[in-house]
A and B are shown apart, each in its own frame.
Chain A
């Protein structure tokens, strides 16, 4: 009876099917990754999908069944048993790693310290301020939006009886910040101007608000000031702009005259000659009340400018949140902060980055080697470099990459942080598997021949 159940599960035909299935799913994964340009998405959508787990489950069943089927094992089964047990042990090791391992990273600025490991998993946290204005976590949810987008009629959190919902999620989105007119009388005024002559042309937004009453823009030969009208001239070429009677007032101060040279009122679309270097000032937009509006535009694939972004809705208001950012919002009585970011776990110790060294190939900017000089309490000074990790507190820190500024000075080191309890299982499994396969393929040819030779003699 038992054999009857085992037989079909142990069939080699099933094995061929499972092998091709796993290969096929993996191939889809590589094409998907190439299409979207991001490994994380491919992991979520393909490699760690239900289909893959199902295929691997089938493989395990098949492997176990075929070994039971061949029971009791004989010496000639050595290769077969080893190859298959090796695969099972390797898969077991992979499972241990997946369940109990840590695979994250920590980026440390030169001269600074790092103590938190950033994991690829993401979560949404909601904080409320208590009476001492200290934020406290009142809700936290892991998110897996790329495969499991919460429907917009389902509340993520309930705040004071009203639901906070996810309206939209873009996995690849570019941030787009606009200044728009506002109805709210408390919002500050904004203008956009174009300053140009035959050689230069500069177009900028300027924005004043209750908390930031004056904005100054240094444009080389001249400074532009936008405020509510309080600016007092001291020196240089200055264009002072401020809202007045629903229009924009301008005052041009010149360096030569050491004082006011021009003043008047203008409006969107009109032009003022400043009198210096043929520069003309054209007012492009003017909003007496305005606010910044951040939106995200969905993209098809990953680039350096994209990030994942979530749009939330609470009490009729909508908020966009890019990955690893926060937004503050208010109910009638209280202030809240919502964060969307990668999960962080503590290292349990501080890593101080004292220095970051980059070696370059002669005469080029190409890095030939790089290393982090770090200090860890208990360990003292040490160097983490390629193929030379640092082990402490169960974690292993590897030199992964670094960032540099425009002049080629390294600014931060990126260390990959890892804890892998499944490692030795995987190594053991692989060893047994390779031994088994070699035994299967070459036993007859090498050992078998020798035995024949012995018999013949």
Chain B
């Protein structure tokens, strides 16, 4: 099969192609078994391209096309500089050109040091040692190369349900009989469309895909893949609800700023509308994810980063006093969702399966959702704290009313957040007791939830004795949120230890540390300016 296809492809002027849209759409929906579930080819191809290249398009070509050419003509790709090696130390360690980020497969395979690095990685993995950032990078590079190989030789791209028994699908390489014939038909339709361009609207490719899927249905029954979920997932991939959502949130922020400059009431209404639209897309996105993955909305880091602003905006709507709250909430929304958009390799948006301990459990669901929800009001308080500090800089007396309003809302937010965090932490204990027989075990995640709670508890008590007033409230909502960031991000991405390790990931530490560092400097600056102002 392959030699024939390569022959066809060799006629294709390399990398100047276009597919018929119907054929492309049909191909995107092709069911593939990967990572413990059935996903559309679109998702599989995007994940592969993201893993290898770090972006979801390559030279303006979409992932499915790239994927198909990997399958068809892997030789063509061996010299393409598409393997992303972001880790500085690894590039140095492998004596790769340090000015470049992207390397070709041949460059990597001809590198003797890489083999040694992978060998010592294996040693570390077998001892279950904790990997430092260098070895995490080695592991990632090994995964990138392996992913390309399994696609290129078709050994692990599982496209057909098994004829009988078992739940492991058959890979491209293992296809036989009618399925092989139809799949070959699909691939050659793709190749000929590439070569000749789409002839007319009734695409040869789309009918080839349909024929292939029908053959699979005939073998394994029509429910061999969850097509309604696959369609929803493809729609989610294409529509990108969270992108629309942050666009509207960002728009709302600008509208509020404009309304301040021109003091026009209409602009505030417009910004309300914009936030509402953003919230609708936001909710739609969360709903879609729940439908696609068939599980509660907060199951991995990405989903928490989507969930927290949703709650923050809800809180802002309830506690609405002035447009500053609206702006604060929009900033939270835009910030979190843009983060998801910009850092897809760190905040993994994939629907990967859950650990056994996390499955089908009411208490688990409740405690995670409640705790993550508590970050929402805390985040809002943090941003309002920032806004209040800006007003302190602009002139405490002049903006007294606004500062008072903001302080009241911050106080409320911290109260709501604290009740949620405490209740969630206790429910986490109940869950641990129910699953492992241990209510409290000083696991880092629970300990940091506890530390964050204690931080806010200290603020609430200090307020009683007058240690924390309006200025202190603004300062402490910012400082305490750094504790929340530690509990939320730091435990999984920095400490990387403990029972909640299924949420572990890596990357982004520099950005998060810079974010916290800038805030600390800002606080010090405001405090200094205020002290100097009082002296005068």
Contacts and interface: CB of A to CB of B under 8 A. Distances in A.
Interface string B107-150: 00000000000000000001111100000000000000000000
A396 interface: yes
Nearest to B491: A30
A26 B433 CA distance: 21
Nearest to B458: A19
B422 A437 contact: yes
Interface string B247-286: 0000000000000000000000000000000000000000
A182 interface: no
Interface string B455-482: 1011001101101000000000000000
Contacts of A367: 356
Interface in A13-38: 13, 15-16, 19-20, 22-23, 26-27, 29-31, 33-34, 37
A430 B424 CA distance: 11
A364 B462 contact: no
A39 interface: yes
Contacts of B430: 427
Contact of B438 (A16, A27, A103): A103
Given A361-B353, A369-B359, A304 B458 contact: no
A387 interface: yes
A386 B442 contact: no
Nearest to A52: B442
Interface in A303-328: 303-305
Interface in B472-517: 491, 494-498
Most A CB contacts (10 A, CB to CB) among B167, B168, B441, B497 go to: B497
Interface string B3-39: 0000000000000000000000000000001111110
Contacts of A180: none
Interface string A408-421: 00000000111010
A398 B431 CA distance: 13
A242 interface: no
B454 A362 contact: no
Nearest to B34: A363
Contacts of A442: 415
Interface string B409-446: 00000011011001100100110011111111111100
Given A30-B491, A94-B440, A364-B35, A301 B426 contact: no
B496 A34 contact: yes
Given A23-B455, A26-B450, A12 B464 contact: yes
Nearest to B443: A39
A97 interface: yes
B437 A398 contact: yes
Given A19-B454, A33-B498, A418 B438 contact: yes
A23 B498 CA distance: 18
Interface string B206-234: 00000000000000000000000000000
B158 interface: yes
B169 A363 contact: yes
Contacts of A20: 454, 458
B129 A362 contact: no
Given A361-B353, A366-B353, A441-B415, A19 B437 contact: no
Interface in A353-375: 359-364, 366-370
A389 B437 contact: yes
Interface string A393-425: 000101010000000000000001110100100
Given A103-B437, A441-B419, A34 B444 contact: yes
A415 to B, nearest CB: 10
B461 A33 contact: no
B458 A23 contact: yes
B448 A30 contact: yes
A43 interface: yes
Contacts of B169: 362-363
B36 A364 contact: yes
Given A303-B128, A386-B356, A30 B33 contact: no
Nearest to B129: A303
A368 B295 CA distance: 14
B127 A370 contact: no
A398 B458 CA distance: 37
Contacts of B346: none
Interface residues of A, number: 59
Contact of B442 (A29, A34, A103, A423): A29
A429 to B, nearest CB: 10
A107 B38 CA distance: 35
Nearest to B364: A387
B439 A420 contact: yes
B361 interface: yes
Given A33-B498, A386-B359, A304 B435 contact: no
B56 interface: no
Nearest to A34: B495
Contacts of B361: 387
A282 interface: no
B36 A361 contact: yes
A334 to B, nearest CB: 40
A362 B433 contact: no
A284 interface: no
Most B CB contacts (10 A, CB to CB) among A30, A33, A94 go to: A30
Contacts of A398: 435-437
B435 A362 contact: no
A338 interface: no
B300 interface: no
B263 to A, nearest CB: 31
A386 B465 contact: no
A369 to B, nearest CB: 5
Contact of B36 (A97, A368, A416, A427): A368
Contact of B356 (A37, A369, A416, A430): A369
B36 to A, nearest CB: 3
B461 A368 contact: no
A12 B462 CA distance: 7
Given A23-B451, A23-B455, A97 B495 contact: no
A39 B442 contact: yes
14 contacts: A12-B461, A19-B461, A30-B495, A304-B127, A304-B129, A305-B127, A416-B437, A416-B438, A417-B437, A420-B439, A433-B422, A437-B422, A441-B418, A441-B419
Given A42-B442, A304-B128, A359-B356, 7 more contacts: A16-B458, A33-B444, A34-B497, A303-B128, A362-B33, A369-B356, A426-B439
Interface of A: 11-13, 15-16, 19-20, 22-23, 26-27, 29-31, 33-34, 37, 39, 42-43, 47, 94, 97, 103, 301, 303-305, 359-364, 366-370, 386-387, 389, 396, 398, 400, 416-418, 420, 423, 426-427, 430, 433-434, 437-438, 441-442
What are the 10 closest A-B residue pairs judged by CB atoms, nearest first?
A: A361-B36, A418-B437, A23-B454, A304-B128, A34-B495, A362-B167, A303-B129, A19-B458, A441-B415, A363-B168
